[in-house]
Structure 1
Amino acid sequence: MTALMLPQLFDIVPDALLLVDAEGRIIRANGNAERLFGHGNDGLVGLSVEALMPADARERHLQHRLGYMSSPRVRPMGQSDQVLVGQKADGQQFPVEIALSPIETAHGRHYLASVRDISESQRVRQALVRASYDAFIARLGQMALDAGSEQQLVRSLPGMLIDELQADAVALAFPESDGHAIDVRVAGQINGEALCHILSSRWALLEASLPVDRATILDDRQLELLAEAGEGFACGAATLLRDRDHPTGILMVLSTDTRPIQHDILHLIQGVAVLVAAIMQRRRTAEQLAHAQRLDALGQLTGGIAHDFNNLLTIISGSLQLLDDEYAPHQGARDLIAGALHSVARGASLTSKLLAFARRQPLAPQSVKLHQLVHDLGTMLQRILGESFSLTIECHRGLPPAHVDPCQLETALVNVVLNARDALPGNGEILLSVGEQWVRPQEMEELQAGHYIVIRITDRGMGMSASTARRAVEPFFTTKSMGQGSGLGLSMVYGFTRQSRGMLHIDTVHGRGTTVSMYLPVATSLPERVLPPRHRVEGARQTILVVEDDPGVRRIAVSFLQAAGYVTLEACDAVEALAIAKMHPETALVFSDVMLGGAMNGHALASTLREQLPGLAVLLTTGHDDAPDVSPDLGHCGTLLRKPYRREDLLVAIQQLIA
């Protein structure tokens, strides 16, 4: 371009034109330039060209200008990869594109700059980029819905992000519960094994350096941490994947390009991280729900089996007790009967554990101060554990009482402590600590908000794998060898804590140990004073109505009562029992099963009979019942006898009720 063309050019070109001398001073500007930069007539003449840009960019531009003037050339618009910013007289900034051309004049070499405001076109480009990113997120979401598992998405995501962002490397890393990375998915120019090694030793450092709520550009120190995994990463961005109140992973995007990472890219990275975290959380929630439903189904199944099994045990036990009387003179026969009765007792213990898992065992919760309970139990446990194992108890006296069944709590603690012993390699220390915790609303999915006592049993033994931990509370699941365990210990503890309105939590790392935590509600009243047992009273012969839908169990009960001198009446259901009672007003006591089938159970039958026969004593029996031990309508004349029962227990209960 020549100087002769300048006057016509300045008048007709729609862009802002600036003529600059070798010192960088503006010697001429057209009207478009004065309007663009907000200066009046000839207000630009004499200014340094750096005065038309932000202060923090002036020194950098000066160096670029000097380099250009040392080797001038025609440079059209759109060839610079830099984001150029102009500044008006009032300080307002706006994006620009600039074309440069050297011009030879009679006064030496000058430089013509054509400046164009690209605010609108930049907004269009930005909108297109954001639309592309939005489409990427939508595609990712649809892929998540279509995928069989989130692992398919996790495997594909790094490669998809590389294609979308034109990055050099993308990595997804997920830590173990103890902070060691165990799963790293990468794509691009990065060594996955090296990155896994880096994160295994520096996870906490990298995690602590990242903001909790947004994607951020990695600084030089963070890039240096990752240097061993890839060559020449000049910039990068990362964000945490979060699950409620704790990180579950890190998403990183790395590049060898020195260009700064734009805000829209950070926004995309954060959006992807939120989506992936939500998908993983949904999967965990679905797994927890399926696990809870499986345990509930197992609970219903085992509860039903326990009920039927207790009926069978009642028949077997009753028959053996009757045989014991008949063969009293025969010592050999009595020894065999005693062994069989011992096996019945073991079967009853098994059904008790099944009912505990099913959350249908009878509980007698009360206000219990745990300091004395755990120390007394600890003395007994230390004898069981032996000299090779030490049991340390931490429980201060100032803790509030727990609302719990003390007998079942002791059984649960014994089960967990013995499991901890079995996990240790021949010797070691077990810690039993008791504390308190306030649980906030929605802090724990399985617990209502409130005040809880937390009992923790910790060992540094073998720990459990993730698959084993998921099944640890299922009945009959055990990793012990044949004959070493029934697989019902933790099942019973799980059912007991849930039935007590608490929770069982297992925190374990394979090869490092396990902590089993029992959450139990704090009592709202002080511990009750223990009353002495009632004095046993001998009763006279009376008429007793036996109501039982199982003929075998009914025959055993009738045999026990007739042998003791009682007059018995029999009914197989509530309808027959009501009819018989109406014909026999002399009936002194009704002995009924709770589960009778039909529309009326034992509680309802007893209430109806009491209306017909005021003063009628009621004794209920069951092998499976989650109802209260005594119906509120029955008052002091109703009680509950658990199957399988011994003859002595039945007769004592009857004597106490009809005396």
Structure 2
Amino acid sequence: MSVTDRCVRDTGMEQTERATASASDEGRYRLLVDAITDYAIYMLDPDGIITSWNAGAQRFKGYTADEILGSHFSRFFVPADREAGLPQRALRIAAAEGRFETEGWRVRKDGGQFWAHVVLDPILHPDGTLIGYAKITRDLTERKQAQEDLQRSEKQFRLLVNGVSDYAIYMLDPEGRVTNWNFGAERIKGYSRDEIVGEHFSRFFSPEDRERGEPQRGLATALKDGRFETEGWRIRKDGTRFWASVVVDRVDDEEGRVIGFAKITRDVTERKEAQEALAKANEALAQSQKMEAIGQLTGGIAHDFNNLLTAVIGSLEMARKRVGIDPPAVQSLIDNALEGARRGASLTQRMLAFARRQDLAPRTVDLAELVAGITAFLERSIGPELSIETRFPAGLSPAHIDPNQLETALLNLMVNARDAMDGGGVVTIEADEAAIEVARPGGLAVGRYVRLAVIDTGEGMDAETVKRAAEPFFTTKGVGKGTGLGLSMVHGLVSQSGGGLQIHSRKGEGTRVELWLPVATAALAPASTREPDVPVVPAEDRPLAILAVDDDGLVLMNTVAMLEDMGHRVFEAASGMEALDILRSEADIELVITDHAMPRMTGSQLAEAIRGEWPGLPIILATGYAELPPGGDNSLPKLSKPFGEYELAKAITATLGAGKAASPGAAIAGS
């Protein structure tokens, strides 16, 4: 055989192989198109004449192939659209722009109408000549009637053939090897057809999913049930990941034999990120609401506890005075009981701090100067095993905070760091500035903040412990080694000051506690909201006629006893109405001391009624809160519970002394 003959033979064989491959590929697409009944897929010639017709088209529109082939596709349009030239405009746009997509009413063979989503793509000869159009139609009538159906329909809608770019649509053979590849698959996954056809589809899975056998499980499910649907991470050609919504349908031939799978993939990364962001926002809001509820409960308990401590401290002080120094054993027991009661008072102050009801005196504070001033004290408090390192940038803005409470908060954080760093190490205190530009539910408000952080290299906390760390009475230190109120006090301080607390920690990696404090500006409150102390000087050299009002019998009894011990003549009332009756019958009363939190008529309401009838009568309101609840008169000074005889005497002196220098009716107030 000559060289020429062999060349002719080889060329013929190559052409035959290419034709066979083309026919095989075309057959697979034909099977893919014919297997889908949810879409009408057919061809038009350049003039709009129908040249092919699939089972989906027959199901949607009611025409068999024999009835419709050779007809113009405009017969599916409603009369108004035909008159408006919509069919011709669709062909022109598809030819000029490479695609036409729309939704509108279409007409079936029986005259019924359905809402259709239509995609029209031009088909070009390799030389660029237009040879026809590929037309895909989907019945979306149900979607138009219900939004839920709309979402499901949209998910399944943009599925097929080249030209559909939002979905990766391709075929797999029974073993999972890719047999064809559309433009959407190339756009989403980054591989061209030549690079991927013949490869196993498991290459799109993450390594961990391949190790778990996810590719095989998906095919096995589709083989058994006819369909497999899932979401998960998939890998692009460049190695990046995207969150994919995946549907795998089994494809059978006419005799029911499995010949492969139709696979549809959609990139839904943005949706997943939005869902995760929403979930985080909801979690933050739920945590904020939980802490608010705990705060209200804790504040209420502290208020009631202060009432009890008022009775205990007052009674013990009076008992100590009456016992004198003899016998010493009894005096020692009373002193011990008083010390315990005062510790209880300190405990309630921490509870009120968490509940954001403590008395604050915020002012402009240079954090670097404040930390430098207490570093030596902190070093003595945490012991010689630990050292303190500070990092403060030059030009750091001042914060708006109560400096005394902030020092206490730093001491609590340093003690926590010491306990977490068994064996020594370095605790770092640093600060920088940050801004919140978009507020989230349960988060910080929009504004500028100084971020003061205490960082340790201790054992750290797991995620569940971090979530509960600021709750009152929650501690990991064991019985007798902590009250569980340190972090809760810090949380309450920064929250009441308009800031926030953030804890970053992992088990074995240490802890970073951040105090977000508002930057001090002229728009914030005055430098101090605490009233200056009034010098304790005798206001009167004679006994006073005093009305004591409290619905708590223990507190009332002790208040009366302390006033009588001071030499005053005392009237007592268990309610606001009873107090007004006494005032109307006893004209010589010179001072009223009343609790605020009373049923039916609060102390603030009683004070308002007194000012209406006796405008010059001084009033003292006793309180367990730093600020009155809604409806209280916070413009008045206060006598805080728990109080003893000294605090009561000081309040009377301050009230009557202020009354001489101020307008009639000066008062001390509380809740």
TM tier relative to shorter chain: 0.5 to 0.7
Q: Is the 1:170–1:187 contact (alpha carbons within 8 Å) kept by the matching residues of 2? A: no
Q: Name the counterpart of 1:582.
A: 584
Question: What is the match of residue 435 of structure 2?
Answer: 438
Question: Is 1:69–2:4 an aligned residue pair?
Answer: no
Map of 1:119 onto structure 2: 133
Contact kept? 2:439, 2:446, Cα under 8 Å:
yes
Whole-angstrom distance in 1 between the partners of 2:350 and 2:323: 33
Kept in 1, the 8 Å contact 2:282–2:441? The answer is no
Give the letter for the 1:318 counterpart.
G
Q: Which residue of 1 aligns with 2:536?
A: 536
Letter paired with 2:500: M
Give 1:73 shift: 5.8
Q: CA RMSD in A?
A: 4.6
Instruction: Name the counterpart of 1:188.
Output: 215
* Counterpart code for 2:620: L
The answer on whether the counterparts of 2:284 and 2:443 sit within 8 Å (CA) in structure 1 is: no
CA distance in structure 1 between the partners assigned to 2:585 and 2:554 by the alignment: 25
Show the counterpart of 1:325.
321
**One-letter code aligned to 1:545:** L
The total of aligned residue pairs comes to: 484
Task: State the 1:625 CA deviation.
Answer: 5.2
Q: How many angstroms apart in 1 are the aligned matches of 2:266 and 2:468?
A: 36
User: Is this contact kept in 2: 1:171–1:185, CA < 8 A?
Assistant: no
Q: Aligned partners of 2:586 and 2:177: how far apart in 1?
A: 89
Residues 1:238 and 2:272 are matched in the alignment: no
SS class of match (1:457): strand
Checking the alignment, whether the CA contact within 8 Å between 2:390 and 2:430 is kept in structure 1 is yes
Partner of 1:302: 298
TM-score, normalized by length of structure 1? 0.64
1:561–1:456 Cα change, 3 Å: same
Match of 2:653 in 1: 655
Q: 1:126 to 1:69 in 2, by over 3 A?
A: farther
Q: Cα distance 1:394–1:126, how it changes in 2: closer, same or farther (>3 A)?
A: farther
Kept in 1, the 8 Å contact 2:474–2:485? The answer is: yes
Closer/same/farther in 2, CA of residues 306 and 169 from structure 1, 3 Å limit: farther
| In 2: Cα distance, 1:136 partner to 1:186 partner | 33
Distance 2:206 2:545 in 1: 78
Which of 481, 506, 511 matches 1:484?
A: 481
Separation in 1, partners of 2:491, 2:296: 14
1:168 aligns with 2:202: yes
Q: What is the CA-CA distance between 1:344 and the residue it aligns to?
A: 0.3
2:521 pairs with one of 520, 524, 537 = 524
Q: Cα distance, 1:542 vs. partner? A: 1.4
SS of residue in 2 equivalent to 1:274:
helix
C-alpha separation between the residues in 2 aligned to 1:251 and 1:289? Answer: 29
Aligned residues with identical type, % of pairs: 33
Contact 1:170 1:252 in 2 (8 A): no
Would you say the 8 A contact 2:235–2:241 is kept in 1? yes
Match of residue 568 from structure 1: 570
Q: With the length of structure 2 as denominator, give the TM-score of the two structures.
A: 0.63
* CA 189–428 in structure 1, closer or farther in 2 if over 3 Å, else same: farther
Alignment-derived partner of residue 603 in structure 2 = 602
Q: Distance in 2 between matches of 1:349 and 1:524?
A: 32
Q: Which residue, out of 320, 337, 341, partners 1:340? A: 337
Distance 1:546 1:437 in 2: 51
- Aligned-partner Cα distance in 1 for 2:642–2:130: 95
Are positions 1:402 and 2:399 aligned together? yes
How far apart are the structure 2 equivalents of 1:327 and 1:507? 54
Letter in 1 for 2:547: L
Aligned partners of 2:204 and 2:236 also within 8 Å = no
Report the Cα offset of residue 624 of structure 1: 3.3
Question: Of 490, 493, 504, which residue of structure 1 is paired with 2:490?
Answer: 493
Is 1:379 aligned with 2:381?
A: no
Q: 1:154: which partner in 2?
A: none
Which range moved further: 578-587 or 448-457?
A: 578-587
Aligned-partner Cα distance in 2 for 1:556–1:65: 116
Checking the alignment, whether the CA contact within 8 Å between 1:401 and 1:523 is kept in structure 2 is yes
Counterparts in 2 of 1:400 and 1:544: CA distance versus 1, 3 Å:
farther
What runs of 5+ residues in structure 1 fail to find an aligned partner? 1-21, 25-63, 100-112, 128-133, 142-161, 174-180, 191-214, 223-236, 240-249, 256-263
Write the distance in 2 (CA, Å) between the matches of 1:416 and 1:372.
Answer: 18
Deviations 1:311-356, CA, capped at 9 Å, x for gaps? 1111111111111011113221111111110100111111111112
Secondary structure of the residue that 2:628 maps to in structure 1? coil
Judged with a 3 Å threshold, the aligned counterparts in structure 2 of structure 1 residues 569 and 437 are, in CA distance, closer, same or farther, namely same
SS at structure 2 position matched to 1:627: coil
SS in 2 for 1:557: helix
Q: Distance in 1 between matches of 2:618 and 2:280?
A: 53
8 Å contact 1:539–1:655 — kept in the other structure? yes
Question: Separation in 2 of the partners of 1:563 and 1:217?
Answer: 84
What SS does the corresponding residue of 2:458 show, helix, strand or coil? Answer: coil
Whether contact under 8 Å (1:607, 1:633) holds in the other structure is no
